[in-house]
Structure 1
Amino acid sequence: MDRGLLVLVAILGLLWLSNGESVMKYGAVGDGIADDTSAFQKAWENACKGSSKTGSVHVPAGKVFLLNSLHFTGPCIPKPLLFTIDGEMIAQSDPNKWENGENGVIPWLIFDQVDGLAIVGRGLLNGQGKAWWDIHCRDHPGPNCIWLAPTMMTFSNCGNVTLKSLRFRDSAQTHVLVMGSQNVYISDIKITSPEASPNTDGIHITSSTSVSINHSDIAAGDDCVSIGDQVNNVTVSFVNCGPGHGVSVGSLGRGGTEVAVENIRVWHVNFTGTTNGARIKTWPGGTGYVRGIEFFDIRFSSVQNPIIIDQFYEKGSSHRESEIHEDEWNIGYKGGNEA
């Protein structure tokens, strides 16, 4: 993660010079009622293209910004590009006002093909997920129920990313998704969603390499950290996990697919009130390898299954059906990856 640390040093230099151009300059209202999506999109485009004076975006404190789906697309000219969030960003809460996603993902905030990205600040991202949870098929089966809901923050095909100090609350689905990316450094974040909320993983990683998660608190309705297929060189350390389903490698190999996961180190993690602690879960029939997995210096308090390796995940899993959507977006992304 040396390059990630270099990016962090550059970020601190940028913060010393400037907070960046405020989204207010581009027409954002910040009253929690008006839709500020367009203003945020314009602020990003100017920063990414190098048109703004600072090459950065600032979300000011003391404001609440209502936002629908936003695609922050690169490549960008400034490196690093600084995105400072000090205010509150809230997602559109009405499921009927969202469009269908691509590749099995409904993004709220997606950063795509950006190299040298720094997202920092003291702000809050609120996914307002309850309306989605209330129609989720796991708890509300029926003809109009849904499996797929918005993911709060997605990094797709990105490199040299720093995510630091933000708070995430009540995502409709996964809070932070890392897919097809490399050199991702996540630190000092706090994630919270109700224990019963469906598929609200804290951080999910798939088809990525060199990801570091440390000094963070994650309390969610699903895995605190989940590691999917085609992942290598991941470190999870100094993390408080709970409630949730623990730190999971998998599930892997659904439908007989070939998997490749290696060099995963989980250490100095406190599990409190979780369903599982250290978990590896695979479907029967899958091929490939899962190797170089280390869990050490971990502590358990009121954990149902402190250490569990499940090689027959398709049988008897009360949460299996609720994870099918993850398999769908992994398959859509890269030919058969499993979450």
Structure 2
Amino acid sequence: MGNCKSSSRALLGKAHVVPDAEWRMQDFGKTHVPDLEWRIHDFSSLLETGAKAATSATFHCSGYNWQLQVIPMHKGTGYETPYVALRLMTSPERMVPGHTMHVVFELSIYNHSKGMYCGCKASYNFHFKNSYSKEHCLILLQELLKSSAFLVDDSCVFGVDILKIDVSSPEKKAVVVQKKATTVQNLFLQKKGFVKGTYTWNVNNFLELDTDNFVRSPTFEVGGHKWYVGMYPHGDKYSTDCISLYLCLDASDELRLDSEKVFIMTLSILDQKNGKHLTATSGLWVCNKGCGWGWPNFFGLKKLKEPSGGYVVGSSCVVKADVTIIGSSNDG
């Protein structure tokens, strides 16, 4: 790409719309050390999965848990061609209503020719019900695929560096960003031989379930791991008048320390009358022990319980989980 700031603008051409007004690619310099270095091997396989996003395993910084998400074919309003975009995510567990965390960070991709990261500086207000930053475009997908500087042996390296955290909460807690050694993660994607599994959970007493409690299915196995579907029938604390559905690793599951599984999941509530099932499919996720993945606002409770919908018949609700293991992840 040469000089990132000038040439990335040139790549857009007259027909393209700049993704956002403050978007600029810049060199961060050879002394730039990210908090997370995420190496995605077999990048073309990521595109072939059709996944909307790939999310790293958790990394830790200044008392919080974070993840980096890559959106390989991001297209926004006015975009003529897709961009590779990044966004930062945090775990909302430590946040409560009224708790806001203003974070300044840098998102980047490694330029092998220059030996340095190239990217953009961003900021975002994370709060109780919003743990995802906006997407920030880094490079046109077509340019990345042709680049010998950013894509080497079908692999590319992304980074995130957290610069500042300001917390507004009832406790007015100050956070000092503590720099430490870079966390390195590797994502390996398979081209074939995916391991797939399906589990159907018949919730026969759905309408009688306690409104506040977490309900879990029996355990089932896919890819050598034990899973279960978790449900908050009336929504968890992050939802708004919706049922919450999650796929979780069973606590008894023993994850290998040298390699974690990478998976895509689909959760569905089956329409028992009309066959118009409610379905949501995730991007790529890395198995972390004790984690759950899903949707706090899976579907509105009022529509879910409408007799004409067929999602709750009598007091029966049927939930289906489809899990596909498509790769592995390990620490570098």
Tell me if TM exceeds 0.5: no
Higher relative contact order by CA 8 Å / sep ≥ 6: 1 or 2? 2
TM-score, reference length from structure 2:
0.25
User: Greater Rg, structure 1 or structure 2?
Assistant: 2
TM-score, reference length from structure 1:
0.25
